[in-house]
């Protein structure tokens, strides 16, 4: 069983032919299209149709291509959430930046947050556990 990505709303499979496929719309713009992301955490290569170029620094709304639910997090501004299912069927929340060019990924696990990418420090504060709570971990 390979790593799968699921929509947080409909649990539809978002991985097709080894790409994580999402629909993206540039905020305050009519520019939208499909985006093919590398499913490997920390790999930020992406592919789009030539008519839909991703503008670095612009924020995008990501939606599920199956149910059209918005995947941008309400809890964590500028981050987008999908569910990852590993080879053993274990599920993790994955967050990545909805701002093009920002390279950061957060994988929430039972034992803490696995952070990837050169910009991971940018949203660190969302996932930092206050020192007084660490004794409960
Ligand atoms: Zn969906």
Q: How far is the centre of ligand 1, averaged over its atoms, from the C-alpha of 107 (Å)? A: 20
Q: Could you report the per-residue pLDDT of 124-134, keeping only the tens digit for each? A: 999 986 655 55
pLDDT value for 2: 84
* pLDDT at residue 128, rounded to an integer: 80
Please list the ranges in the chain whose pLDDT falls under 70: 1, 129-137
pLDDT at 134: 56
Q: For tokens 């009519």, name the residue.
A: 30
Give the model confidence (pLDDT) of 51-66 as tens digits.
Answer: 999 999 999 999 999 9
What's the 11 CA to ligand 1 centre distance in angstroms?
6
Both tokens of 85, joined, read: 């299912």
Q: How far is CA 1 from CA 8, 22, 86, 87, 91, in A?
A: 20, 21, 8, 5, 13
Residue 73 Cα to ligand 1 midpoint, Å, equals 14
Dihedral of alpha carbons 62, 20, 33, 124, sign: positive
Q: What is the pLDDT of residue 48?
A: 97
CA of 19 to the centre of ligand 1 (A): 16
C-alpha distance from residue 37 to each of 26, 96, 124 (Å)? 16, 11, 22
Distance 102 CA to ligand 1 centre (A): 24
Q: Ligand 1 centre from 132 Cα, in Å?
A: 37
pLDDT at 137: 53
Give me the pLDDT at residue 131, please.
Answer: 58
Neighbours of 66 (CB within 10 A): 16
**Predicted pLDDT at 61:** 98
Which pLDDT value is given to residue 101?
A: 97
Alpha carbon of 135 to ligand 1 centroid (Å): 37
Distance from residue 81's CA to the centre of ligand 1 (Å): 12
Ligand 1 centroid–CA 93 distance in Å is 15
């Amino acid at each position: 069983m390979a790593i799968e990505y699921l929509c947080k709303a409909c649990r539809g499979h978002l991985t097709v032919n080894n790409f994580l496929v999402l629909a993206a719309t540039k905020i305050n713009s009519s520019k939208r299209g499909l985006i093919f992301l590398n499913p490997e955490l920390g790999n930020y290569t992406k592919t789009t149709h030539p008519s839909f170029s991703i503008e670095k620094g612009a924020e995008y709304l990501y939606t599920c291509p199956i149910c059209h639910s918005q995947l941008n997090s309400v809890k964590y501004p500028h981050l987008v959430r999908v569910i990852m299912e590993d080879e053993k069927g274990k599920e993790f929340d994955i967050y990545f930046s909805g701002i093009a060019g920002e390279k950061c990924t957060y994988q929430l696990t039972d034992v803490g947050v696995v952070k990837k990418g050169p910009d991971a420090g940018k949203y660190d504060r969302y996932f930092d556990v206050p020192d007084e709570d660490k004794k409960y971990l």
